[in-house]
Amino acid sequence: MERIIGIDLGTTNSLAATVIEDGPEVVAPSGENPITPSVLTRSSGNWIVGEAAVAQRLTAPEQTVYSVKRLMGRDVEELAEEIKELPYAVIPAQRKLVKVRIGTEEFTPQELSAEILREVKRRAETALDETVSKAVITVPAYFDDAQRQATRAAAKLAGLEVVRILNEPTAAAIAYGLDERKDGYVAVYDLGGGTFDLSLLKLSGKLFKVIATHGDTRLGGDDFDRELMTLLRERLLAEHPEVTFERAETQQRLRKTAEEIKIRLSGSPETAYTLELPECGIMPQGLVTQAEFEERIAPLIERTLASCRKALGAAGLTAEQMDEVVLVGGSTVVPGVRKAVERFFGRKPHVAIDPYKVVAIGAGIQGHLLAGGRRDFLLLDVIPLALGIETLGGTFSKLITANTTIPAEVAEMFTTNVDNQTAIDVNIYQGERELVEDCRNLGRFKLRGIPPMPAGLPLVEVAFRVDANGLLIVSAKEQRSGTAAEIEVIPSHGLTQSEIDHILEESFDHAISDFNARQLIEFGQTAARMFRGIEQCWTVAEATLSTEERQELRTQMDVVRSSMQGGDAAALKRQIDALGELTRPLADTAMGRAVLEELQIAAG
């Protein structure tokens, strides 16, 4: 059967999983971390994705993009607060799209997410030694139609067919095998880098159903980092009031230090830090305690608990009725979060599976099932927010209510309010308010060709169909004349099909040159690391290598430098390999000396 992998496209990290002979596992090339940071940097007209890009956040902050997921399906007004904190430029574009500007180039969030997906796909193919073209991709349960469409568009740009878009909490429950319970209720608390979801699942026999969900697409570990950044700013200004934070380098050093503090406090009651700010000529130090950190993030944690209360209220349940509680997302490793969840639900949550990997594993299992693998359960997801149309006076007429199980189809009759009206605009919205001005516009189309009739006489049936991926198709038909129109909703925040096709054509046209350019960058970074290692060990070389050997080494370094200036990645790789062969005796000697020194110190 053709393999369908699962992909967790995260705000902070992304990874893939699949089912192999031993069961579900995350996948990565041998010896490599399966987690790919969702970070990319632009260099010489090409993208570098993952760990190599993370290192550029300090040295090239304006060219390095992260937290792309928070930009998906959002406009500039909605992102106003986030944009203030970002070192790269986010600008408005047509149809309420936002774009990221790097130098003279502009990119949509879909294009940026596609680069991350492309890297995850490449690593999975390397690990599995096979081509991958289909995937189950996870999204927060609270993602609306615009964000789900944006995710699907990004996957298509990356060369992936999305077989199913799966809610992240549902994927986590699948990973834990909770569907194998005979019955009960499960709460899935999912706090990642940029989003939060609380999903309530009802398990009954082999029926696996999401009965309610609530969350916040702008709440996560990034916000924990911001609280620590604020603390560091306050301390810094108290000692150095002259310091400003306008420079992108300063902002990124603050962010990097805040992330490091957060990570260390997950395993220690306090941690020391050094904030290196060479651009300001200072290097302040300090101590942050877990208690200080928890006090800072307490309001954010309370926001997650407020969502828990709303989801429970929508389902008519109490926290005490939950049979299981599952923690998902990297931010749930924070002790303050775990303690708050345990207090709220009155029971210890499941943490056996790495919270960074659990969503991808669940998606991998779902992909295996859809590919024809055996697993006996029925998966039912829900629509997070009501779907409907604008009616007279700007009111929102809900056709499909929140928490309706998908797939779903609903139709209602409407009529005209003006005599001899021959066309009707169908404006599609998603939200929970009564007026469309308070809801989110997803798209619009026009039903033309209605025969002229008095107001109230035409009968227009508007039908909403939501497929298994949570994606929406809207149709309208005038019953008396048979005039009909249909649209697969491309949100006002999304890319049109022609735009996607154009981007795909460009990627195909430049595939070979782009791959060569990418390899030139990566091989160049490898060469730079080798040069630094040789220079650091040169005193050992002078003591152990002959004059001829040292000269041959220097000559080959010059050859590699020359190849770095050329445009042939394969030729550069050959010269790097040759340099590697020449450095082996030096590396062996340097390693032997280091071991000997350690032994002498130990012998004391």
pLDDT digits (tens, 9 = 90+) for 347-356: 989 877 888 8
Asked about 179 being catalytic, the answer comes back as: no
Task: Give 350's DSSP letter.
Answer: B
Contacts of 536 (CB under 8 A, 6+ apart): none
Kindly report the average pLDDT of the chain as a whole number.
Answer: 84
Q: What is the model's pLDDT at position 32?
A: 87
CB 311 within 8 A of CB 305: no
Mean pLDDT calculated for residue range 135-155: 89
pLDDT in tens, 565-574: 888 888 999 9
pLDDT higher than threshold 70 for residue 594: no
The number of residues making up the chain comes to 604
Strand bridging mode 440-448 / 472-478: unpaired
Helix, strand, or coil (residue 25): strand
Residue 390 pairs with which residues in a beta bridge?
396
Q: Say what percent of the chain tops pLDDT 90.
A: 34
Predicted confidence (pLDDT) at residue 58 exceeds the cutoff of 60: yes
Is a pLDDT exceeding 70 seen at residue 597? no
pLDDT at position 76 is 83
Q: Per-residue confidence at 48, pLDDT binned at 50, 70, 90? A: very high
Instruction: Give the residue-averaged pLDDT of 390-406.
Output: 80
The yes-or-no answer on residue 323 being catalytic is no
Measure the CA–CA gap between 277 and 282, rounded to whole angstroms: 6
Whether pLDDT at 507 is above 80: no
pLDDT, average across residues 376-386 = 61
pLDDT at residue 602, rounded to an integer: 45
pLDDT of the residue at 375: 53
CA distances from 200 to 154, 197, 363, 380, 466 (A): 28, 10, 18, 12, 20
Q: CA–CA distance from 11 to each of 57, 138, 156, 175, 217 (Å)?
A: 16, 12, 19, 20, 11
- The pLDDT confidence band at residue 176, using thresholds 50, 70 and 90, is confident
The CATH homologous superfamily of the domain defined by 387-494 = Substrate Binding Domain Of DNAk; Chain A, domain 1 (2.60.34.10)
The pLDDT value given to residue 604:
43
Question: Which is the catalytic residue, given 69, 121, 156, 357?
Answer: 69
The DSSP secondary-structure symbol of 349 reads P
- Extents of the domains making up the chain: 5-219+299-380, 387-494, 510-603
Half-sphere exposure of 425 (CA within 13 A, CB side): 9
pLDDT tens profile 549-585: 889 999 999 999 999 988 888 899 999 999 988 888 8
Beta strands, E only, 50-173: 64-65, 89-92, 98-102, 105-107, 134-139, 161-167
Q: Among 82, 115, 119, 190, which one carries the catalytic annotation?
A: 190
Helix H, strand E, coil C: the string for 505-569 is HHHHHCHHHHHHHHHHHHHHHHHHHHHHHHHHCHHHHHHHCCHHHHHHHHHHHHHHHHHHCCCCH
Higher pLDDT: 116 or 544? It is 116
CA 294 centroid distance within chain: 25
**Burial zone of 358 (CB within 10 Å; 0-12 exposed, 13-18 middle, 19+ buried):** buried
Q: Is domain 510-603 given the CATH code 1.20.1270.10 in the classification?
A: yes
Q: Which two tokens stand for residue 312?
A: 């429970």
Is residue 376 over pLDDT 50?
Answer: no
Catalytic residue among 145, 168, 324, 499: 168
8 is catalytic: yes
Question: What's the longest Cα–Cα distance across the chain?
Answer: 102
Least confident of 21-35, 269-283, 369-383, 533-547: 369-383
For residue 378, what pLDDT is reported? 45
Residues 6+ apart with CB under 8 A from 353: 175, 176, 361
Query: What is the DSSP-derived secondary structure letter of residue 55?
Result: T
Q: Helix or strand or coil: residue 334?
A: coil
In this structure, what are the phi and psi dihedrals at residue 39, rounded to the nearest 5 degrees?
A: -130, 140
What integer pLDDT is reported at residue 70 of this predicted model? Answer: 85
The answer, yes or no, to whether residue 530 has pLDDT greater than 90, is no
pLDDT in tens, 77-113: 888 888 887 889 999 887 777 899 998 999 999 999 9
Q: Which of 569, 526, 529, 534 is nearest to 550 (CA)?
A: 534
Cα–Cα distance measured from residue 49 to residue 13, given in angstroms and rounded to the nearest whole number: 11
**DSSP secondary-structure letter at 452?**
P
Whole-prediction pTM: 0.68
Q: Do the beta carbons of residue 150 and residue 70 sit within 8 Å?
A: no
> Could you give the percent of the chain with pLDDT greater than 70?
90
Quick count: other Cβ atoms within 10 Å of Cβ 346? 11
pLDDT tier at 374, thresholds 50, 70, 90: low
For residues 560-594, b (16+ Cβ closer than 10 Å) or e, as one string? beebeeeeebeebbebbeebeebbeebeebbeeee
d(CA 80, CA 60): 23
- The token duo for 518 is 């990418």
- Partnered with residue 13 across adjacent β-strands are 37
Ranking 3-17, 230-244, 468-482, 571-585 by mean pLDDT, the lowest is 468-482
Q: What is the mean pLDDT of residues 21-35?
A: 86
Banded model confidence at residue 231, pLDDT cuts 50, 70, 90: very high
Give the pLDDT of residue 312.
95
Mean pLDDT, rounded, for 504-509: 66
Domain 5-219+299-380, CATH among 3.30.2320.80, 3.30.420.40, 3.40.630.30, 3.40.30.10: 3.30.420.40
Using an 8 Å Cβ cutoff, are 135 and 160 in contact?
yes
In tens, the pLDDT along 269-303 reads 999 999 888 877 888 899 999 999 999 999 999 99
Choose among 75, 212, 171, 46: nearest CA to 492.
75
Burial of 52 (0-12, 13-18, 19+ CB in 10 A): middle
**pLDDT score of 442 more than 50:** yes
